[in-house]
């Protein structure tokens, strides 16, 4: 036969109500809720369990504490917290900084660093859990040129509004459209990317050595209509680049087009006679592809055509067009634009 819930008595009920009216920690509030419901004698044990989200034994444990020692006994808490984590405070902050910088190739590298900093050794599985908990993920690092100068990248961001204002000032009567431009090579030699698979099972991707190439030129509009301009060409040089710049300029002949692009050798430079009269160039600093949102667009296209064989370049180009279509809508293009770039543009520079 199950235990019953007898009346607690008027004095105990008054103590419970007095403590209930005071501010309490979450754990104390939950204990008071249980005994308060017991004291009201309106709900069954099963109903109290459901309302307070506790077990049957917990209901009787809290009731017994109140009966034996009053509310003061109920609100005593012997739990003093768990052990202090090995990685905390300044060590945790430094670990996050190193994680963001990609300084740990394996979990054991982080394990060795933690042992050096704290003189305590965590298990390798424990280190993996720790890395995941602070946002870590095993990634393939992106190549970064040894000549890259982070200071120049920061300077480009800081000076962008001023440089845009100078370019726009050369044609103050025209509406302004800002673009980011890049090119990507594609070919019949397959692009191999990682895929999800079952552990212990080797996954194969089709492959054939065939050297036929083409180039996809892409330009994304940073603000305004967020349009996309694409061009397929069999080769790439300055004359072909000039054709693509003309395509951008002709997309709106009555506007001034400002094009942000890297300093590749096949790109035209300011002053070249082949640059359309309603177009201005704004070069990125050397070796800083991460500043160009068009790089992200090209990466999405490459992902869509990876791990597949194509019989002809035409078939491959048709698939590229299909893969590019959903990423060429204004909302998709807007999502690819870096926040810092959109902020600089919307800071009144092109208003």
Instruction: Delimit the domains of the chain by residue range.
Output: 10-74, 89-133, 154-349
pLDDT value at residue 1: 44
pLDDT in tens, 22-60: 888 888 888 889 888 888 888 888 888 888 888 989 988
The yes-or-no verdict on residue 7 having pLDDT over 80 is no
pLDDT in tens, 290-319: 999 999 999 999 999 998 999 999 999 999
Cα–Cα distance measured from residue 25 to residue 7, given in angstroms and rounded to the nearest whole number: 26
Cα–Cα distance measured from residue 255 to residue 250, given in angstroms and rounded to the nearest whole number: 9
264 vs 148 pLDDT, higher one: 264
State the Cα angle at 294 between 292 and 299, rounded to 5°.
115
Cα–Cα distance measured from residue 134 to residue 31, given in angstroms and rounded to the nearest whole number: 33
Sign of CA dihedral 104, 287, 335, 190: negative
Bridge partners of residue 229, in order along the sequence: 219
Bridge partners of residue 177, in order along the sequence: 257
pLDDT value at residue 322: 95
pTM over 0.85? The answer is no
321 vs 84 pLDDT, higher one: 321
Cα-only R_g, the chain = 32
DSSP-derived 3-state class of residue 283: strand
Do residues 271 and 250 make contact, with C-beta atoms less than 8 angstroms apart?
Answer: no
pLDDT in tens, 214-238: 999 999 999 889 999 999 999 999 9
Looking up tokens 């025209």, which residue turns up?
Answer: 174
Do residues 222 and 337 make contact, with C-beta atoms less than 8 angstroms apart?
Answer: yes
The answer as to CATH 3.30.420.10 being correct for domain 154-349 is: yes
pLDDT value at residue 170: 75
Euclidean distance between the first and the last CA atom of the chain, given in angstroms as a whole number: 80
Sheet of 228-233: strand order equals 228-233, 213-221, 176-187, 256-261, 279-283
Sign of CA dihedral 38, 39, 41, 42: negative
């Amino acid at each position: 036969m199950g235990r019953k819930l007898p009346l607690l008595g008027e004095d105990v009920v008054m103590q419970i109500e007095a403590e209930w009216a005071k501010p309490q920690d979450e754990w104390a509030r939950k204990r008071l809720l249980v005994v308060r419901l017991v004291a009201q004698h309106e709900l069954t044990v099963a109903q109290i369990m459901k309302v307070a989200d506790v077990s049957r034994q917990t209901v009787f444990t809290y009731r017994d504490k109140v009966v034996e020692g009053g509310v003061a006994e109920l609100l005593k808490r012997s739990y003093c917290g768990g052990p202090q984590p090995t990685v905390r405070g300044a060590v945790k902050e430094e670990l996050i900084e190193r994680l963001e910088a990609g300084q740990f190739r394996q979990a054991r590298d982080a394990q060795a660093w933690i042992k050096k900093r704290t003189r305590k050794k965590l298990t390798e599985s424990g280190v993996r859990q720790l890395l995941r908990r602070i946002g870590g993920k095993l990634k393939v690092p992106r190549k970064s040129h040894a000549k890259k100068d982070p200071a120049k990248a920061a300077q480009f961001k800081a000076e962008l509004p001023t440089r845009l204002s100078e370019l726009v000032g050369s044609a103050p009567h025209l509406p302004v459209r800002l673009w980011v431009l890049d090119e990507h090579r594609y070919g019949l030699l397959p692009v191999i990317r990682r895929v999800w698979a079952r552990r212990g099972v080797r996954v194969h991707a089709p492959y054939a050595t065939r050297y036929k190439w083409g180039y996809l030129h892409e330009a994304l509009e940073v603000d305004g209509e967020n349009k996309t301009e694409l061009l397929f060409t069999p080769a790439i040089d300055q004359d072909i680049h000039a054709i693509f710049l003309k395509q951008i300029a002709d997309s709106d002949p009555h506007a001034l087009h400002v094009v942000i692009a890297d300093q590749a050798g096949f790109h035209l430079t300011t002053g070249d006679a082949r640059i359309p009269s309603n177009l201005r160039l704004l070069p990125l600093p050397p070796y800083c592809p991460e500043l160009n949102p068009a790089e992200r667009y090209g990466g999405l296209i490459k992902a869509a055509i990876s791990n597949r064989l194509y019989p002809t370049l035409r078939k491959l180009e048709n698939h590229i067009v299909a893969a590019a279509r959903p990423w060429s809508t204004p909302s998709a293009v807007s999502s690819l634009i870096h926040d810092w770039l959109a902020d600089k543009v919307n800071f009144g520079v092109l208003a």
